[in-house]
Amino acid sequence: MDILSTLYPWIKSIHVIAVISWMAGMLYLPRLFVYHVETNPDHINLDETLVRWEFLLIKRIINPAMAVTWIAGLLMVFTPGIIDFSAGWIWVKFLMVFLMSGFHGFLSKQRKLLAAGERPYSGKQYRMLNEVPTVLMVIIVIMVIARPF
């Protein structure tokens, strides 16, 4: 029996745990950015605290969770008989995951800008950007669970 087929339930479990962790961070980081840009930049202690929280969230939770999500996801893709590549849903899911990964990169860049003292967006704009991972997540879940096409 193929090793990936044998390990599939474990790989899928790890994938779901990693996705939950990744999404928790992706939903929380833009909220931290809102707090960051809406604080007085002269309030050094609070600004430094937010920079530290943002850094730790990216480095200790979001980045590792994304890496594990991708690794486990690719292992599932390569497991024989699991994915029907002629189905449309899988391609929509792949596109949404690539967009989520791109948004992850965007948030990483924003964290660096904020740490450097720049404030490229307003609190309102970060609130709106906070909806991006939610929309992508909803589409991904629908594609995986309902497989509408």
Give binding residues for heme as ranges.
15, 93
Instruction: Say how many C-beta atoms besides its own lie within 10 A of residue 10's C-beta.
Output: 11
Read off the tokens for 106.
Answer: 């965007």
Tokens 């948004």 locate to 103
**Can you list the alpha helix ranges (DSSP code H) found in 44-130?**
44-56, 63-77, 88-115, 123-129
Residue 40's nearest CA partner among 28, 55, 31, 50 is: 50
Q: Which residues are annotated as a binding site?
A: 15, 93
